[in-house]
Chains A and B, each alone.
Chain A
Amino acid sequence: MPRPKSQADASAPDAVLRALADPHRRQILRLVQGHEMAAGQIAARFPLTQQAISQHIAVLKQAGLLTERRDGTRHLYTLRPEALDPVRALLAEFWPDALARLKDAVERAHPPQETR
């Protein structure tokens, strides 16, 4: 095991979640998962200005969700899969939290009764 990657990323879920909160940015991530795309290629897939796409890309990069590589004058982007880890961790917390609320809701509505 080279290094504890997920530990290092665990402090970043807020930036990742803010970046993921926008549907266009989620769509960008789907486009670049597994292969590189230039900013212009990404922009061509959206009814948005290149400038708006550049801003979305900047947010995704800042959150660690994109890897950037330069090829001549082009900037190529691809998904950085490790950024998934803190989000997956969040989901792993989601269901225990939800079931705790379920327990509260049921037990409030149906208080345990004395043995009849």
Chain B
Amino acid sequence: MPPSPPVTATTRIAAPPEVVFPYFTDPALIVTWLGDRADLNAQPGGVFAIDVGASPARGTYLTVEPPTRVAFTWGLPGSETMPAGSTTVEVILTADGDETIVSLTHHGLPDEDQPAHKKGWDTLLSALPAAIKHR
């Protein structure tokens, strides 16, 4: 079975990276598009906590380089086999004229680097809560 690629997504936004970047680091701004409540400490090692209804996503910021790069872990609290945050979401903001290209990559999802399903399930379940609520 070949490794499955990370989940990726991109969008183009009619605003410069300086405007877009805080939407990944400011609790009041992130909840306009992701989750209902956020507790964010946007510095490496700082908390990344989003509640989507009753579903929490938890992690820590890994990289905070305004206005072009931000990365955070993403996981499910209360998992015995996986502490919150064994998947990683990496976001690159690239200026294009007056606009920003947002490229998001979610690493660490099932089978990316392991033939076994074990890690895949843990990480997928960890990434899942917000995905369920937002369908």
A residues apposed to B, CB below 8 Å: 17, 20-21, 23, 26-27, 29-30, 33-34, 79, 81, 84, 87-88, 90-92, 94-107, 109-110, 112
Q: Tally B residues with Cβ within 8 Å of A.
A: 42
User: Do A106 and B34 have beta carbons less than 8 Å apart?
Assistant: no
B58 at the interface (CB under 8 A from A): no
Which residues of A sit under 8 angstroms from B110, Cβ to Cβ?
84, 88
Report how far A91 CA is from B15 CA in the complex, Å: 27
Number of A-B contacts (CB under 8 A): 110
Report how far A87 CA is from B135 CA in the complex, Å: 12
User: Do B15 and A107 have beta carbons less than 8 Å apart?
Assistant: yes
- Apart from A91-B124, A91-B128, 15 more pairs, CB < 8 Å: A30-B122, A33-B117, A81-B120, A94-B130, A96-B11, A98-B9, A98-B33, A98-B34, A101-B34, A102-B11, A103-B13, A106-B14, A106-B19, A106-B20, A110-B19
Report how far A96 CA is from B8 CA in the complex, Å: 8
Report how far A29 CA is from B110 CA in the complex, Å: 15
Which residues of B sit under 8 angstroms from A92, Cβ to Cβ?
7
Partner of A84, one of B33, B79, B120: B120
Q: B87-127: contact bitstring with A at CB < 8 Å (1 yes, 0 no)?
A: 00000000000100010101001100000111011101101
User: Do A99 and B15 have beta carbons less than 8 Å apart?
Assistant: no
User: Do B14 and A107 have beta carbons less than 8 Å apart?
Assistant: yes
* Top 3 A-B residue pairs of the complex, sorted by shortest distance between their CB atoms: A95-B9, A101-B33, A105-B32
Report how far A94 CA is from B109 CA in the complex, Å: 13
User: Do A99 and B11 have beta carbons less than 8 Å apart?
Assistant: yes
Interface residues of B in 4-18 (CB under 8 A from A): 4, 7-15
